[in-house]
């Protein structure tokens, strides 16, 4: 039996570390704002560079230019969010956007420069934005930001980085049978290389694990996007909101050797056009008709992502094609080399010269607009538990996220989250129980995990995709319940590993997505139902709650929906 050593004494909240689950922009921002006054442990379940932040190409919003304003940014965010954006949240984020960009510049993020631009930065424009307000580092903004912050974090003596460590579950007062207000005291964390689960007592826990894109067969997300933070918070009793709104990015590269490479929206912002393949000419009659976006929205290629993704899906099904084209040849070879070197190089390696040829693209699951319900300090329903970034539902994204608002939310609320923790250290910590493996054994066959993983992702793609029906959703929910039974049985009887934990989290998130979609009897933003095609005049966020009973074992809470 493997078990963690008990803590030698009751940790004082001023000396116990803050445990941050996730090493993307949200988690690193919190860590850097805390590190001057608190000890921090950051858990990364894969290598540090594999966070979703590093995959972000387009940029980060900053209300900086003389032609821009907070009001304009709030209005664009609300328009994209299709009536479900919380105006107070959107305004707070917009008002703090310039400060966020300035902080990133202080961290030596190498943004693309323009001597005539605000703060000396080149600003680009993306779909849904009225003006140029996107600060970027060519077409690899996320990687540039992530690497700069990682350099800072690695060199800070108060921050401990643990690669290949994965949180298993939260340790809460319910688990400890304590009668005080519900609180989080730490996490159980798996050292993936040793297979040992350790008890990490924490003055506070921050969930910054990103979204749940890997619940779908086709996604622009990295392997890390398995909804870990959302699932852990849900199992611990936190509210979860707006999970039906999964953003499908309109343009993911369509190629047999590259199934998750994103083609940034900034290309369309600079003038690239979406076209049908030449095979559609037989039904269209003329090459001029190959461009299809003007028929779907007056903003054409600059419409918000939900509109563009549905338009592509519609045209692909209508004409029986596997992809559409994104034609950027009109931008010129020199411009593409300067502003989109990453896309140019990746496509060139696959035999596609984007200076002379259009790029084959398809929609793919991209961003989770819902998540753990938090306030503007990252606080959840559990005292001592915070969440930041794509893991959360703050009201900013509504029914559809405006391009490049995601990185901004991480930086703005990462700071406010740290500030709240510093001002509220919390009570002394109780002695925490060890992780219990006395009733389990080593897994006999891993094929059960891989089979259920593949089945879950395929049924979500086929039944809970861009266009939905009630019958498809009900079928998906029925199969998810069967999968959950198999997964829970496996979890109860065998030692945990990363694949099992990710699958357990994915099935929780899949059920949340489907239940939320079934509860929304309208079509709005990213949720489109053939059974309810109308948009209701008044609508509200979808918030799910559950009841959690105290459980005896540290291995698994007893949970009832």
CATH code for the domain of 32: 3.50.50.60
Q: Between residues 323 and 440, which one has the greater pLDDT?
A: 323
Mean pLDDT value of segment 188-201: 95
Burial (0-12, 13-18, 19+ Cβ within 10 Å), 158? middle
β 240-241/204-207 pair status: unpaired
Which range has highest mean pLDDT (29-33, 262-266, 438-442)?
A: 29-33
Q: What is the pLDDT of residue 383?
A: 95
pTM over 0.75: yes
Q: Domain range for residue 99?
A: 18-244+369-423
Q: What is the pLDDT of residue 281?
A: 63
Query: Does residue 258 belong to any structural domain of this protein?
Result: yes
Q: Whole-angstrom Cα distance, residue 217 to residue 215?
A: 7
Q: Convert the pLDDT of each residue in 335-388 to its tens digit.
A: 999 999 999 999 999 999 999 999 999 999 989 999 999 999 999 999 999 999
**Can you point out the beta strands (E) in 378-443?**
385-387, 392-393
Q: Convert the pLDDT of each residue in 509-528 to its tens digit.
A: 999 999 999 999 999 999 99
Q: Whole-angstrom Cα distance, residue 535 to residue 422?
A: 43
Q: Convert the pLDDT of each residue in 478-504 to its tens digit.
A: 999 999 999 998 888 888 999 999 999
In a shared domain, residues 356 and 234:
no
Is residue 297 within 8 A of residue 307, CB to CB? The reply is yes
Last residue of a domain, one of 366, 387, 414: 366
Angstrom distances, CA of residue 470 to CA of 476, 520, 530: 10, 10, 8
Q: What is the pLDDT of residue 260?
A: 74
Residue 358: CATH number of its domain: 3.90.700.10
What token pair was written down for 318?
A: 């209508």
Last residue of a domain, one of 379, 394, 423: 423
The number of distinct structural domains making up the chain is 3
Q: Convert the pLDDT of each residue in 403-412 to its tens digit.
A: 899 999 999 9
Is residue 397 within 8 A of residue 369, CB to CB? The reply is yes
Angstrom distances, CA of residue 192 to CA of 162, 164, 229: 11, 6, 17
In a shared domain, residues 22 and 120:
yes
**Can you point out the beta strands (E) in 284-413?**
324-327, 359-368, 371-373, 385-387, 392-393
Query: Does residue 515 belong to any structural domain of this protein?
Result: yes
Q: What is the pLDDT of residue 470?
A: 97
Query: Does residue 257 belong to any structural domain of this protein?
Result: yes
Residue 6 has pLDDT above 50, yes or no: no
Query: Does residue 198 belong to any structural domain of this protein?
Result: yes
Q: Whole-angstrom Cα distance, residue 318 to residue 326?
A: 18
Q: What is the pLDDT of residue 181?
A: 63
pLDDT averaged over every residue in the chain:
89
Mean pLDDT value of segment 427-446: 81
Band of residue 94 on the pLDDT scale cut at 50, 70, 90:
very high
Query: Does residue 455 belong to any structural domain of this protein?
Result: yes
In a shared domain, residues 335 and 452:
no
In a shared domain, residues 374 and 361:
no
Residue 448 has pLDDT above 90, yes or no: no
Query: Does residue 103 belong to any structural domain of this protein?
Result: yes
Query: Does residue 436 belong to any structural domain of this protein?
Result: no
Band of residue 304 on the pLDDT scale cut at 50, 70, 90:
confident
Q: Convert the pLDDT of each residue in 37-72 to its tens digit.
A: 999 999 999 988 777 777 777 789 999 988 999 999
Mean pLDDT value of segment 531-546: 93
> What share of the chain has pLDDT > 70, as a percent?
91
Q: Whole-angstrom Cα distance, residue 193 to residue 188?
A: 15
Does the active-site annotation cover 174?
Answer: no
Q: What is the pLDDT of residue 407?
A: 95
Residue 14 has pLDDT above 90, yes or no: no
In a shared domain, residues 254 and 232:
no
Q: Whole-angstrom Cα distance, residue 216 to residue 227?
A: 12
Residue 467: CATH number of its domain: 1.20.58.100
Q: Between residues 183 and 261, which one has the greater pLDDT?
A: 183
Q: What is the pLDDT of residue 1?
A: 31
In a shared domain, residues 349 and 464:
no
In a shared domain, residues 277 and 329:
yes
In a shared domain, residues 277 and 178:
no
Range in 5-9, 255-259, 271-275, 360-364 with the lowest mean pLDDT:
5-9
Q: What is the pLDDT of residue 277?
A: 86
Query: Does residue 507 belong to any structural domain of this protein?
Result: yes
In a shared domain, residues 25 and 118:
yes
Give the three-state DSSP class for 361.
strand
- Indicate which residue of 38, 125, 268, 305 is catalytic: 305
Q: Whole-angstrom Cα distance, residue 410 to residue 318?
A: 39
Q: What is the pLDDT of residue 286?
A: 61
In a shared domain, residues 215 and 354:
no
Band of residue 175 on the pLDDT scale cut at 50, 70, 90:
confident
Q: Convert the pLDDT of each residue in 126-146 to its tens digit.
A: 878 999 999 999 888 889 999
Q: What is the pLDDT of residue 549?
A: 58
In a shared domain, residues 139 and 207:
yes
Last residue of a domain, one of 320, 343, 366: 366
In a shared domain, residues 381 and 498:
no
Q: Whole-angstrom Cα distance, residue 155 to residue 403?
A: 32
Q: What is the pLDDT of residue 101?
A: 96
Contacts of 9 (CB under 8 A, 6+ apart): none
């Amino acid at each position: 039996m493997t078990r963690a050593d008990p803590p030698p004494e009751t940790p004082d909240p001023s000396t116990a570390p803050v445990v941050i689950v996730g090493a993307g922009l949200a988690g690193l921002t919190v860590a850097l704002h805390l590190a001057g006054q608190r000890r921090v442990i950051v858990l990364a379940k894969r290598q540090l560079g594999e966070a979703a932040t590093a995959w972000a190409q387009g940029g980060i919003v900053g209300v900086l230019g003389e032609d821009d304003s907070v009001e304009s940014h709030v209005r664009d965010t609300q328009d994209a969010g299709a009536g479900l954006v919380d105006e107070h949240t959107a305004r707070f984020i917009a008002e703090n956007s310039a400060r966020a960009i300035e902080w990133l510049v202080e961290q030596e993020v190498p943004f693309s420069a323009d001597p005539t631009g605000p703060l000396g930065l080149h600003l680009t424009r993306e779909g849904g934005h009225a003006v140029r307000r996107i600060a970027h580092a060519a077409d690899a903004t996320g990687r540039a930001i992530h690497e700069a912050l990682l350099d800072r974090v690695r060199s800070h003596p108060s921050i401990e980085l643990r690669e290949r460590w994965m949180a298993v579950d939260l340790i809460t007062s319910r688990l400890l049978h304590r009668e005080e207000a519900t609180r989080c005291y730490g996490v159980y964390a798996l050292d993936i290389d040793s297979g040992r689960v350790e008890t990490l007592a924490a003055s506070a826990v921050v969930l910054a694990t990103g979204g749940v894109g890997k619940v779908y067969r086709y996604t622009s997300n990295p392997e890390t996007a398995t909804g870990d933070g959302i699932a852990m918070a849900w199992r611990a009793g936190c509210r979860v909101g707006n999970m039906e709104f999964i953003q499908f990015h309109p343009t993911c590269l369509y190629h047999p050797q590259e199934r998750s490479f994103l083609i940034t929206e900034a290309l369309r912002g600079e003038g690239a056009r979406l076209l049908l393949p030449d095979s559609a000419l037989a039904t269209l009659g003329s090459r001029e008709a190959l461009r299809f976006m003007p028929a779907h929205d007056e903003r054409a290629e600059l419409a918000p992502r939900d509109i563009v993704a549905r338009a592509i899906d519609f045209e692909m099904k209508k004409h029986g094609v596997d992809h559409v084209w994104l034609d950027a040849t009109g931008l010129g070879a020199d411009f593409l080399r300067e502003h989109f070197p990453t896309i140019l190089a990746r496509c060139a390696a696959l035999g596609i010269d984007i200076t002379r040829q259009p790029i084959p693209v398809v929609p793919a699951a991209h961003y989770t607009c819902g998540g753990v319900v938090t306030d503007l300090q990252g606080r959840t329903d559990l005292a001592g538990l915070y969440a930041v970034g794509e893991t959360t539902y703050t009201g900013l994204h509504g029914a559809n996220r405006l391009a490049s608002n995601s990185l901004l939310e991480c930086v703005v609320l990462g700071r406010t989250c740290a500030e709240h923790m510093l001002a509220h250290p919390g009570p002394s910590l109780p002695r925490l129980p060890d992780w219990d493996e006395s009733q389990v054994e080593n897994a006999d066959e891993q094929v059960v995990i891989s089979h259920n993983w593949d089945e879950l992702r395929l049924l979500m793609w086929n039944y809970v995709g861009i266009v939905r029906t009630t019958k498809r959703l009900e079928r998906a929910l029925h199969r998810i319940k069967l999968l959950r039974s198999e997964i829970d049985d496996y979890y109860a009887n065998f030692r945990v590993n990363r694949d099992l934990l990710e699958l357990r989290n994915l099935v929780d998130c899949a059920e949340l997505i489907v239940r939320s979609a079934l509860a929304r009897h309208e079509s709005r933003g990213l949720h489109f139902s053939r059974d309810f095609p109308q948009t209701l005049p008044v609508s509200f966020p979808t918030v799910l709650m559950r009841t959690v009973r105290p459980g005896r074992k540290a291995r698994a809470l007893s949970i009832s929906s």
